[in-house]
Every structure is written in C-alpha cells, then in structure tokens.
Amino acid sequence: MCRNLRFVKLLFSLSALILLAGSCKNSKEPGAGVSADPKIAHLKLPSGFHADHLYSPGINNQGSWVAMTFDDKGRMIASDQYGNLYRLTIPAIGSDTNQSKIKVDSIALQLPGDTSKRSRKIGFAHGLLYAFHSLYVMVNVNEGDSNVIRHSGLYRLQDTDGDDQYDKITLIKRLQGDGEHGPHSIVLSPDGKSLYIIAGNFTKIPKMDTYTAPPVWQIDNLLPLIRDPNGHDNSVNTHGGWIAHIDSTGGNFSLISSGFRNPFDLAFNEAGDMFTFDSDMEWDFGLPWYRPIRLCHVPSGGEFGWRPGTDKWSPVYPDNLPPLLNIGQGSPTSVFSGQNARFPEKYRRSLYAFDWSFGIIYAFQPQVDGATYKATAEEFISGSPLPLTDGQIGPDGALYFLTGGRRLESDLYRVYYGDNTGNTEKLAAPELTDLQKLRRKLETYHEAPKADAIAFAWPYLKHEDRFIRYAARIAVEHQPVSEWQEKALAEKDPVTLTQAAIALARRGAPDTAKIKLVTNPGPVNENPSVRDSLLSALAAIDYTRLTESQQIDLLRAVELVLARMGLPSAGVKAKIIADLDPQYPAKDNNLNRSLSKVLVYLEDPAAVEKTMALMATAKDDPSYQKQVTQSSDLILRNLQYGKDIAGMLANVPPAQQTYYATVLCQAKIGWTPELRETYFRWFYKAFGYKGGHSFVGFIDLARKNALKNVPKDKFAYFNTISGDSIVGRAQMGLAGNVQQPKGPGKDWQVDTALALVKDGLSNRDFDRGKAMFTAVMCSACHTMRGDGGTVGPDLTQLGSRFSYKDMLESIIEPSKTISDQFAATVFYLHDGGSVTGRLMNQDAENYYVSQNPFAPQTLRTVPKKDVERTRLSETSIMLPGLLNRLNGEEVKDLLAYLKAGGNKQDSIFAKKP
C-alpha cells in the first residue's frame, strides 16, 4: 500500500455512504446484464465467475480493514488497520447477503484475574492467522495505551475455557518496526505444523535461532552510496525486508530470506515452494536502480538485493536471486494460493497477488523451469478504484477479498465460480523434478555445519542452473572457512572459482569458525594475504573465454572482494586493471555498469575517458527488467495517477547515462578540462528530465559529490554550469514567473471556506487555480501530475477520493490527521531540550533531520548520544495559514484545481475560446 499517492486525510464522502446503504449480492437488473450493486458492476471478472458485495465496515464506524483469516467455525476475523479486530458470520453463497444479515462482533480479551473488569483490545494488525486452536495476530504499531495492545510483534490469542472468547494472550515475538513497512503477514506452513512471517524493510531482523543464509549483510556495492534524498529507508540499511520460519509457540526461529523492499504476504504452491510479491520504490522511477514490483520464488537462504539509495543490487548479480516476473508499477499487498478454491484447475494452480494502487488481482501460473520456475500472469479481477488489502480462499472454496487501507472506504467481497459446487477434489502434489530434488538436498546444508557438506556441494558450484549454484554456495558458506579456503584459492575451474570467491569474500578469514552477525558497511574481512591471493586467482581466469553471464559473475566476485576486504596491493591492483581495461567498454549494458564502477574505483587512468565516451552514446536496454504490465498500460486504469505516469514517460531520464554519471562522481583522476566541462553540463540537462520524486535529489547529490573532486578555484564555475541555480525549481517542477494572489486575504476557517463551495464549483479559472497552487507553496511540498515537491503526499488523486471539506480540513487544520509516512519526529534531549523535524537519515552516531519543509535538503545533525528518546510529532510539518493570502475567488479556483487533479480539461473549468 505504500505509494506516493497517499493522502493525509482519508474520510468517506456522503455519496459513497449512500451507495453503500443498499449493499446486496450479485443480482442483475432485468435485461441490463450488470449488477444492481454499483460496487459489483465496476468489477472486471473472468467468464463464469460471480461476485457478492458482502459488507462495508465504514457504515458501522468499524474502520478500514486490511487483514483477514477464517477460524475453525468458518467465521471470518478481520482487522482495522488503525483499530480493532472483528469476527463475522457470513451467509452462505446463494442466500441473502444484505449487510443486515451479517453478524459482526468486536473481539476483546477477557483476561482472568483482571480486577479492573475491563476488556483489553487488540488490533492494528497487518496479519491474521487462525491455527493450532489459536488466533495469531501481527500487531503493527508502537503506541502506548494500557487498554489496547499496541506494540509491534506476533501475538497468540487462545480460548482456554471454551466459551468462544479469547482469554489468554502470549507475545510470541516482539518486533522492532511499524507502519507500512513494518511487520506484515503470518502464513501456515505447507505441512500445517509451523508458521512463516514476513516483514518490510523498516523492520529489523531480530536475533534468530538459525539462519539459512549467513547473517553477514553488507551494502556490497562499489557504486557511490547516495541515500534517498527524501529520507526513505534510513532505519535498516543492509538487509531489507525478510521472511522467517517459527513454530507455534515461538521456538525454532529461523531466517529464510531477506533483501526485499516491502513484501506484504507470501504463499506456497502445491509443491510446497514459497513465493512473494515485492514492492517497487516509486520515488526511484527513471533511475538505473529502480526495481518494478515483482513476483519472486523464495528458496532457502534467498537474498534479493534490496539496499538503500543507489546501491540496490542488479538482478543479474550471482549473490542474489532474480524475480520470476517484473510486473510494473503498483503496491503489492496480499498473496495466496488458489489450490483450495472451487475454481477450474488453471485457477486452482494459480497464485493470486493484489495490487493496491491500480486495483488488480493478478493470477500467476508458475511452471517448473530447472530448479526454479518461470511464470505467466493475467489480470484476474480488477476495478477502479479498488484498493485491495487482503484476500484468502474461504472454507467454502470461494475467494474473499478486502479493500481499504489508510482509512479509505473499505469493503468485503466474495468471488466464486458457477454455483460453487464443483472442483472439490484435492489437487495432487506434482512430482518434483531431479533439479528440484537436488536444490532441496543442497538446502539441507543451510543451517549448520555438516561433515559431508563441502564434498557434496562443491561440484555444484559450476552447475548450469543458477538456483543450484546459489544453493551450493550457501551450503559452502555455512561450513567453517578453514575447511574450504585453501580449496577455493587452489580451484582451477573458472566458474567454480568465481562462486567460491564470492563465498570467501562474504565469510572472511578462516578463524571465523562460528557465523557472526555482521551488518556494518565497509570492509569487514580485511586479511591482506587472503585478499591478494583471491584477487590474483580471479585475475588468472581467461575473461575472454567466459560467457557474458559468467563475466558478470566474475566482475561481481572482484567487486565483493574489494568491498569486503579492501583495496589490494599495488601489484595486484595493476594486474586487475591490466586485465579488465581492454574489455571496457563491452557491448552489454550490464557488463559496462560492472566494469565502469570497478575500474573507476581502482583508479584506472583510462576509466574516466572511456566512461565519458559511453555517457555520450549510451542507450537503455528495453529488455532489461522487462515488465508484465508496462507503465504505459497503466495510464487508463487510473486516470489521475495514469496521467502522472504518462507525463514521466514523455521525458524519462536515460538510466544508463545516469548510472555512468553516478559512477564518475567518485573519480579523482583521469579528467581533462574538456571532460569535466562535458560532465558537469550533463547535470544541467539532467535536471530537465522527469522521474520519480527522488530523481532530482539523487542527481543533485551526485553532482555535489563530484564537485568535491574539482580544484577549489574551479568550484564556482562547475557549480554554476552544472545547474546549481535551477535545482530548487527542478525539485518543484516550476518554470517561468509565478502569478501572485490579488487578495485581500482572510483568516480562513473550515466553515467559512466551506461556505464558498456549498453550491459546488463550475466555470472556474484553471490558470489561476494552478498559479495559486504554486503561490501558496503547495507545490513546494506536494506533487501534482508529476510536478512539485516531495516532502508531502502526491495530490493528483485527491479530488477523485475526497470532498471539499476533507481538502479544506487538511489545508487549514493540517495536524488533525498525519500520515506516518510524512510525520515529523520529536527528539527529546538529555539536556531537557528537544528537536522536531522529519528524520531523513541516520548512522551509528547521528540523526539527520530536515526542519524546513520548503528546504528539505537542509539537514540538522543531532548526535544520538544527546537523545534520550523519540516519538512521532502530533504537529504536521505542513504549515497552517497557507490560504490566508487568497480572496474567495482565488480559494475557489485553487479548490477546483485540486478537485480536478490538475486536469485542465475537467468540466469544472470554464472553456476558453
């Protein structure tokens, strides 16, 4: 759900409530061919499928539901994102599904021995699972309230006396993280004997009992690290989102996989293999490190390469695993298998994945491909708007799904095939292929040292299947380094040596007998003799006899040794440069990315000139990270956000050029005056491209890094020609002179401003509305149709979801409701003082805080040793009184501009001849 298209205010409009009041099942008007219920009528369903609109929590003030499960009596349990748990008894298919027929109870804990005679509530859940005669709840919040469980973690609720009320609560595992990138779902294992949990990239991995991949996370990228300029992902740094396995009581806690951005859910197919649906970082759109939302097969020890800022790993790197499918833009939420559905076999063998932003339920059909899978995808159900949050196959074989989240209007639907009486036989589990069996055999070596592990796994380091090579390497890494270091250094097969070198770089020196938790950036395995021996062995490989993918693997091995073990001796460094320089440039973009950063890092004298020549002619590879749903295909699915995408696609930055420009910002040698002139003038041009919200900030930080390497007497000149004077306007998407308000102004309050629109708006002035959007500083913090600032939410969809009252309350009373994605933090200092601002970044010693929403790049350093505690501020970073310069007509034009989402063709505006 975490997309830039989110808003501080999320209230229901009166017209929506009127539509909800008559909710009914999937009835048809005579001869119309469409449902009488407008919420069903706007759904796109496959042939033969039917839908019921069952319930709307908002009508009964029950919030916006984001999680569901079914208990052992067939009742649904659901959670409000910001409130309670509810238990529903749902009428059977074919019976009257009017909302009045659905029994809904709030769940509270009746704890024995509680003399207060009050019930304790639990909710704020992103994940629910009924299993082992218990309700497991993944609470996702950290707020104090003695009457409500409000601490992130996995809880178990039990009914110990059989009265159908939960009277026992156990904290299974406390988790450090909350919000939309905090802990999410709980899923039952395929054998029904244990649990899996999944968490986003703002959730720290707690201490585990075992790790299927050694917990030695590092940034592992020689591309200069530039963190997100708008402060995203400043809490975890190295491991990203993760998946863990745990038993029903909280024991045997084992890390399965990491390196995701923000996967919300996971599922298993009939063969028992795990899949998840990971999110993109929409602010990176147009940048070379952008990763689309993607379907991933998640084997034991899987690493998927999410790292902060510029340093996300390429899917071609051998030390992480690629996705099965790149989907495109969106916001992944629920994932589940259809094997228990009463659907045709194709759909029973499908995995279902939800996109919150564009209202699409995808049906993925995985097919075995070696030791992993390939997959096809189709749009199973869609609607607009349809903010999908969670779904599940119910005990009756129908598909149930929820919409809502972020206090949006919430609904419960049921989808079934035919009369829901067929397709009841159990699906047979497929016979595993030899490669699948081999991968699983290798995975048995993924938790602890075993005597025969090296002998068994080593030959498979050169297997042709990437997932077999990966599983074999992880098996090797789990063994004491002293058992295989010399074997690695003496290895002659180039593919085996490459994989062994990756393992040795990650695991370090031979005295590392026991796996240690390593998460700090920078060289951590410095051992000069091992480093130089390893690099010398890699340099002895005949690069020209390798395939392109093997060359990428070799370059990655070199990069990892440099990143983990530090720079080599002068002789080894010269040997590597001499071997790689003739291979640069290559014909492949991925090879050139790896070659450029390694050679620039090693200070190859020719690297700058060669990279600048590539910058001048580089073209992006259209097949790189090819998407199932192309960005252009989304334009008409959501007319507001789609047009925003269209604007970006009209002037998307050249990603390969941007990559080279980022590589070169660390280059200190090899420059001529002419090369520097060309390089810095590129930045001026780059500020004119359209990308995600962080694009301009990344470009500017790379520019500033490069300026540190110019002679002091040339700084002012290069600073000017590289666009210092236009950065601010580029960040806000501004051009030309801004029309100012005529006034006279007024101390606007919600009721007085609302009176201006009591009869609606029509024949308004688009140009003046757009000008007021800029003049009152809306555009300094908010984006409209791709232009504007990035401190606050994108407002392009505002008018399609919210009333004039909602808009005015958000502008005039900005602290009334604050999104956790845009909230300020209060830092309480030991000396009694405090600092308030938006946390943009942090390291081991300091917090970096933006305190001015109109100058978000100006950061204050707050030493962590001075901070006693922190909390989210109840005061919005949006300043009050912004409307007070406007007269009534100007307020009307501004509201019309917001309502239309910046669309000049909207009927709200007067048509000019």
Going by pLDDT thresholds of 50, 70 and 90, the confidence category of residue 316 is: very high
- The reported pLDDT for the residue numbered 121 is 79
Closest CA to 203 of 255, 254, 259, 241: 241
Closest CA to 615 of 666, 564, 660, 673: 660
For the segment 359-369, the average pLDDT, to the nearest whole number, is 96
| pLDDT at position 605 over 80 | yes
Q: Which residues pair with 825 in a beta bridge?
A: 837, 872
| pLDDT at position 68 over 50 | yes
Closest CA to 406 of 874, 2, 810: 2
pLDDT above 90: percentage of residues in the chain? 64
> Which one-letter DSSP state was computed for residue 909?
B
For the segment 186-194, the average pLDDT, to the nearest whole number, is 98
- The reported pLDDT for the residue numbered 646 is 52
**H or E element at residue 693:** none
| pLDDT at position 281 over 90 | yes
Going by pLDDT thresholds of 50, 70 and 90, the confidence category of residue 634 is: low
Residue 579's CB is within 10 A of a number of other CB atoms, namely 16
**Between residues 868 and 490, the one the model is more confident about:** 490
For the segment 251-266, the average pLDDT, to the nearest whole number, is 97
pLDDT above 70: percentage of residues in the chain? 87
Judged on CB neighbours under 10 Å (0-12, 13-18, 19+), 446 is buried
pLDDT in tens, 439-454: 999 999 998 999 999 9
SS3 call for 601: helix
Largest CA distance in the chain: 85
Rounded Cα–Cα distance for residues 420 and 401 (Å): 17
CA dihedral 360, 363, 364, 367 (to 10 degrees): -170
Lowest-pLDDT range, 90-104, 267-281, 636-650, 653-667?
636-650
| pLDDT at position 771 over 70 | yes
| pLDDT at position 797 over 90 | no
- The reported pLDDT for the residue numbered 841 is 85
β-strands 867-872, 825-829: how paired? antiparallel
Lowest-pLDDT range, 33-42, 141-150, 468-477?
141-150
β-strands 293-298, 325-328: how paired? antiparallel
Residues 6+ apart with CB under 8 A from 659: 223, 288, 593, 596
Going by pLDDT thresholds of 50, 70 and 90, the confidence category of residue 6 is: very low
- What's 438-493 look like in SS3? HHHHHHCCCCCCCCCHHHHHHHHHHCCCHHHHHHHHHHHHCCCHHHCHHHHHHCCC
Closest CA to 158 of 71, 88, 83: 71
Over the chain, what is the mean pLDDT?
A: 87
Q: Tell me the CA end-to-end span of the chain in Å, nearest whole number.
A: 42
**Between residues 811 and 256, the one the model is more confident about:** 256
Rounded Cα–Cα distance for residues 723 and 715 (Å): 13
Task: Indicate the residue type of 612.
Answer: M
- The reported pLDDT for the residue numbered 891 is 92
| pLDDT at position 5 over 70 | no
For the segment 696-717, the average pLDDT, to the nearest whole number, is 97
CA distances from 787 to 559, 585, 768 (A): 38, 36, 17
Query: Helix, strand, coil: what percent of the chain each, to 5?
Result: 30, 20, 45
Q: Which residues pair with 187 in a beta bridge?
A: 196
β-strands 120-122, 148-149: how paired? parallel
**Between residues 832 and 666, the one the model is more confident about:** 666
pLDDT in tens, 731-755: 766 554 567 888 888 889 989 989 9
> 146 with 117: CB under 8 angstroms?
no
- The reported pLDDT for the residue numbered 526 is 65
193, two tokens: 């004997």
For the segment 598-616, the average pLDDT, to the nearest whole number, is 98
Going by pLDDT thresholds of 50, 70 and 90, the confidence category of residue 104 is: very high
Give me the helices (H) in 788-853, please. 798-801, 804-812
Query: Does the N-terminal peptide bond of residue 853 adopt cis geometry, omega within 30 degrees of 0?
Result: no
**Between residues 59 and 643, the one the model is more confident about:** 59
Across 233-247, 283-297, 828-842, the highest mean pLDDT is recorded for: 283-297
SS3 call for 166: coil
Lowest-pLDDT range, 85-99, 413-427, 562-576, 634-648?
634-648
Judged on CB neighbours under 10 Å (0-12, 13-18, 19+), 791 is buried
**Between residues 41 and 882, the one the model is more confident about:** 41
| pLDDT at position 494 over 90 | yes
Judged on CB neighbours under 10 Å (0-12, 13-18, 19+), 484 is buried
Closest CA to 235 of 193, 201, 275, 284: 201
pLDDT in tens, 382-396: 887 899 999 999 999
> 399 with 393: CB under 8 angstroms?
yes
DSSP structure string for 42-108: T-B--TTEEEEEEE-GGGGT---EEEEEE-TTS-EEEEETTSBEEEEE-PPTTS---GGGSEEEEEE
**Number of H helices and number of E strands within the chain?**
25, 35
DSSP structure string for 185-239: EEEE-TTSSSEEEEE-TTSPPPP-SEESS-S-------S-----TT--S-SS-SS
> 55 with 23: CB under 8 angstroms?
yes
Give me the helices (H) in 722-776, please. 727-732, 750-754, 766-775
> Which one-letter DSSP state was computed for residue 910?
P
> 697 with 856: CB under 8 angstroms?
no
Going by pLDDT thresholds of 50, 70 and 90, the confidence category of residue 490 is: very high
For the segment 822-848, the average pLDDT, to the nearest whole number, is 82
**Between residues 253 and 637, the one the model is more confident about:** 253
**Between residues 369 and 37, the one the model is more confident about:** 369
| Positions of E strands within 340-428 | 351-355, 360-369, 372-382, 388-393, 399-403, 411-417
Rounded Cα–Cα distance for residues 486 and 631 (Å): 49
For the segment 505-520, the average pLDDT, to the nearest whole number, is 54
Going by pLDDT thresholds of 50, 70 and 90, the confidence category of residue 13 is: very low
> 359 with 384: CB under 8 angstroms?
yes
SS3 call for 709: coil
| Positions of E strands within 272-345 | 274-278, 293-298, 302-303, 325-328, 332-337
Judged on CB neighbours under 10 Å (0-12, 13-18, 19+), 910 is exposed
- The reported pLDDT for the residue numbered 881 is 80
Going by pLDDT thresholds of 50, 70 and 90, the confidence category of residue 636 is: very low
531, two tokens: 């480093």
| pLDDT at position 828 over 60 | yes
628, two tokens: 């199932």
CA dihedral 169, 171, 176, 182 (to 10 degrees): -50
Lowest-pLDDT range, 6-15, 385-394, 542-551, 706-715?
6-15
- The reported pLDDT for the residue numbered 139 is 95
